[in-house]
Amino acid sequence: MDRQEVTLLVLIDLSAAFDTIDHAILLETLEKDFGVTGNALKWLTSYLSERKQTILIKDHESEVFNLQSGVPQGSCLGPVLFILYVPGLLTNIFPMHIRMQMTPRFIIRFGRIHLYRKMLH
């Protein structure tokens, strides 16, 4: 029986994944999809704001520069924020009801073929 379903595999290069997280999308996802509001949302906004970084190579250190995106690597919260961020990002890319499964290396989306045709046109 032909159910008019299709499977789409999306391969994503996760190198520098923590560095490229958009703060506005992350905070919106936390609020709308996970119900983070009030002081918790204010704390996370503060946690991500006004972060600075330098680069040290051997004995040479760069000037301090402001970070406009990303979550702190090596922190306990960084991986959690990344895991919560990815589904919200994919919803913005594929804004329709399609089931999704994630593994550390790839994302598989399942859905009716007409949804994919609509997405591609």
- Crossing angle, helix 38-48 and helix 23-34, to 10 degrees? 160
Place of tokens 């949804």: 115
Six token digits for residue 15: 């190198």
Q: Nearest 5°: phi and psi at 61?
A: -115, 135
Instruction: Give pLDDT tens digits for 39-51.
Output: 999 999 999 998 8
Instruction: Give pLDDT tens digits for 73-118.
Output: 888 888 888 888 876 655 555 555 545 555 555 455 555 555 545 5
Give the domain ranges of the chain: 6-113
